[in-house]
């Protein structure tokens, strides 16, 4: 820490913040760096499941990245995270099936840590930074970021001011609203007109055996539908809690844990909004509230067999002997048709039917569809330069700032911001 504060203040200890901190201290060890986070431990993707993709364009925003730029930085990401890359088999077989239906199956280098082992990884990363003199301020919430003539900095808990020559704001997806507040206060133009809305599928390993060959298969369907975040081994559907509602997510434990023979993955539909509805955040909140209202305060789930018959699932019938497994996340049994916008449901169901042709069995009557799974990373600030600077001294990076969609893209975004600071741009 200098007499006037820190050289660098990083808001958020997720992959974007950590990526910036590692790169800054690697190339300029004398810098004083402070990382601040409202959580006890780095949260988000690093803590939950910690799935990593090392192939462009997965995890990268096309608006901000070229293949060359991503491939330049991915080796640096890999050197810090030290992943064990998953092997793939029989990829060509599935790709040929997909191509016949107008579907793309991407060949992606992947790694998976598992929720049970992610804390050890985070501890290693934090310890590594602390050995370089980086300071952490955890369980402290940043409520404001300023960039004024007297010097930039942040406000903690509405009262404590900490100055830093170059603030990097990287609060992740859950910091989406906070980023918007900061941008509005700093007068930074931005758009928020894209949102990913979808469902999470849960089925048995027998019904989705592709995961034996390809851990997280990345299918791209027509109408901007894609598979996302596939989990197998010891896999569970989980709740992602927000202030007024809960969303659906999924994770898996490491291979050291006993498998439960379940698989879950999301089917997401990317929606571009136009007037009069221009905010992806507002749409996400509305859909999240609606689904939780219909579900009596919880998300919804429905068996594929019931959906195909045009009837709602009920708590009484959900675990009948026709069905091969109980839900790993027992939310409210009901009718997704009452909550999912019709066009989105049509797109997702059409994609699922194609997927069932590529991997026969995924639409078994016992398969469960959970809703809502919504991804809010559609902030698009007006950047001053290619290093994600938004004002004279402030940088914004990561999923919440729309520069990435996942761990590796976020880490690479942090490196780009660090490069800008070190170059003096």
Asked if residue 4 has pLDDT above 80, the reply is: no
Residues of the chain with CATH 3.50.50.60: 6-85+113-190+379-423
Q: What is the pLDDT of residue 1?
A: 62
Rounded CA-CA distance 354/119 in Å is 38
Asked if residue 327 has pLDDT above 80, the reply is: yes
Read off the pLDDT band of 377 (50, 70, 90): low
User: Residue 292, CB half-sphere, CA atoms under 13 Å: how many?
Assistant: 20
Asked if residue 395 has pLDDT above 80, the reply is: yes
Q: What is the pLDDT of residues 232-291, one digit of tens each?
A: 999 999 999 988 899 999 999 998 899 999 999 999 999 988 877 778 888 999 999 999
Strand partners, 238: 249
Asked if residue 97 has pLDDT above 70, the reply is: yes
Rounded CA-CA distance 78/416 in Å is 15
Task: Give me the residue label for tokens 């900490």.
Answer: 162
DSSP state of 354: H
Q: What is the pLDDT of residue 3?
A: 52
Round the average pLDDT of the chain to a whole number and report it: 95
3-state secondary structure of 98: helix
Q: Residue 9: which H helix or E strand, with range?
A: strand 6-11
Q: How many residues comprise the chain?
A: 425
Reply yes or no on domain 6-85+113-190+379-423 having CATH 3.50.50.60. Answer: yes
Asked if residue 133 has pLDDT above 90, the reply is: yes
* Contact between residue 263 and residue 211 where contact means Cβ atoms under 8 Å apart: yes
Q: What is the pLDDT of residue 17?
A: 97
Rounded CA-CA distance 188/30 in Å is 31
Strand partners, 269: 197, 225
Q: What is the pLDDT of residue 2?
A: 62
* Contact between residue 253 and residue 116 where contact means Cβ atoms under 8 Å apart: yes
Q: Which long-range contacts (CB under 8 A, 24 or more apart) does 39-42 make?
A: 39/13, 39/138, 39/139, 40/138, 40/139, 41/13, 41/119, 41/122, 41/138, 42/13, 42/14, 42/18, 42/122, 42/125, 42/126
Which residues, 6 or more positions from 123, have their beta carbon under 8 angstroms from its beta carbon? Answer: none
pTM of this prediction?
0.94
């Amino acid at each position: 820490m200098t007499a006037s504060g820190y050289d660098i203040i990083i808001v958020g200890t997720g992959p974007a913040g950590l990526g910036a901190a590692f790169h800054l201290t690697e190339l300029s060890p004398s810098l004083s760096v402070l990382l601040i986070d409202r959580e006890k431990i780095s949260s988000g993707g690093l803590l939950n499941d910690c799935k990593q993709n090392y192939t462009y364009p997965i995890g990268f925003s096309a608006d901000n990245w070229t293949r060359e730029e991503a491939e330049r930085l991915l080796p640096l990401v890999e050197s810090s995270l030290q992943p064990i890359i998953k092997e793939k088999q029989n990829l060509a077989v599935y790709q040929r099936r997909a191509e016949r239906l107008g579907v793309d199956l991407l060949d992606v280098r992947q790694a998976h840590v598992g929720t049970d082992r992610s804390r050890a990884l985070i501890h290693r990363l934090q310890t590594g930074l602390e050995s370089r003199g980086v300071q952490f301020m955890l369980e402290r919430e940043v409520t404001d970021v300023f960039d004024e003539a007297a010097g930039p900095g942040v406000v903690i808990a509405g009262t404590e001011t900490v100055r830093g020559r170059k603030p990097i704001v990287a609060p992740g997806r859950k910091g989406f609203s906070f980023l918007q507040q900061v941008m509005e206060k700093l007068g930074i133009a931005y758009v928020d007109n894209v949102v990913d809305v979808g469902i999470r599928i849960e089925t048995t390993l027998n019904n989705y055996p592709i995961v034996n060959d390809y851990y997280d298969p990345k299918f791209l369907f027509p109408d901007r539908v894609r598979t996302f975040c596939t989990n197998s081994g010891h896999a569970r559907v989980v709740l992602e809690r927000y202030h007024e509602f809960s969303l659906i997510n999924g994770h898996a434990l490491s291979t050291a844990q006993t498998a439960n023979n379940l698989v879950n993955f999301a089917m997401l539909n990317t929606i571009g909004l136009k007037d009069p509805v221009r905010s992806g955040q507002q749409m996400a909140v509305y859909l999240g509230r609606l689904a939780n209202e219909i579900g009596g305060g919880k998300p919804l789930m429905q068996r594929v067999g019931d959906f195909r018959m045009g009837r709602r699932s009920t708590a009484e019938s959900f675990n009948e002997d026709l069905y091969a497994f109980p839900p790993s996340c027992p939310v409210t049994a009901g009718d997704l048709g009452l909550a999912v916008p019709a066009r989105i449901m049509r797109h997702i169901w059409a994609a699922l039917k194609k997927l069932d042709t590529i991997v026969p069995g995924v639409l078994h009557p016992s398969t469960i569809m959970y809703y809502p799974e919504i991804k809010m990373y559609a902030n698009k600030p007006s950047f001053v330069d290619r290093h994600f600077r938004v004002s004279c001294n402030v940088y914004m990076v990561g999923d919440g700032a729309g520069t990435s969609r996942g761990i590796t893209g976020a880490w690479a975004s942090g490196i780009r911001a660090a490069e800008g600071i070190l170059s003096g741009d």
